[in-house]
Amino acid sequence: MTGRVSRRVAIVVAVLFTAGLGGTALAQKKLENIPLVWKPTTKAGQGSGVTNLSGLADVKVQVDPFVDTRENKAKFGENQEDKTPRSVTTSSNVADFATQNFRNALKQYGLTIVPSGGDVVVGGDILEFMVIETNTYKGDVRIKLNVKRKGKTEWAGIAAGTSSRWGRSFKDDNYFETISDSLLDAVAHAMDDEGFRKALGGK
């Protein structure tokens, strides 16, 4: 009788273990409708050298909300390690996320960012916002930017950013870090563009 009880207890423990740890493991296999988290591994402007801000010290820059032109606005990642790809989707608004962090990055470069009444207005269409995971995580962010002064377009171009890293398979933090660094890289390319800077300064 004692043996039977012990066996039953062992079975119950095994079931609970599977439901607990095993269930958690299964839950981690899905990254759907997760909130976006800003988690860069670098800072804006870090490693890009000195950016010429001549003529921009007194310019008030207004960054209007970006427009997400992607077909699938919730998807920002995909794991392609297996034959059947696994999507990574977010419950957050990608356009809001990109706009806010683009503004913050420009501030870190030393620009004066205002919510309204700017001397110049920067707008953008999000063309790509994706992390592809194979044996590494590779991010790709592309934003079609335009700079307007008094309603007239002074400059238009593509700010493209990428990022790559090794990391634990299908891990949310790795997706967050990769997409955040890719967005910062896009800002860096915009700030490195002489035409973009001249348009901000009205030259």
Q: What is the pLDDT of residues 115-136, one digit of tens each?
A: 999 999 999 999 999 999 999 9
pTM summary value:
0.85
Give the whole-angstrom CA distance, residue 14 versus residue 10: 6
pLDDT on residue 11: 52
Separation of CA 99 from chain center:
10
CB count, 10 Å around CB of 27?
A: 9
**Is residue 168 predicted with pLDDT exceeding 90?**
yes
- What tokens appear for 132 in the block? 């592809």
- Concatenate the DSSP letters of all residues of 42-106 into one string: S-TTTTS-----TT-TT-EEEEPPPEE--SSSSEEEEE-SSSS-EEEEESS-HHHHHHHHHHHHH
Q: Using 50, 70 and 90 to split pLDDT, how confident is the model at 170?
A: very high
**Is residue 46 predicted with pLDDT exceeding 80?**
no
- What tokens appear for 151 in the block? 């309603």
Phi, psi of 184 (to 5 degrees): -60, -35
Give the whole-angstrom CA distance, residue 48 versus residue 46: 6
pLDDT on residue 12: 47
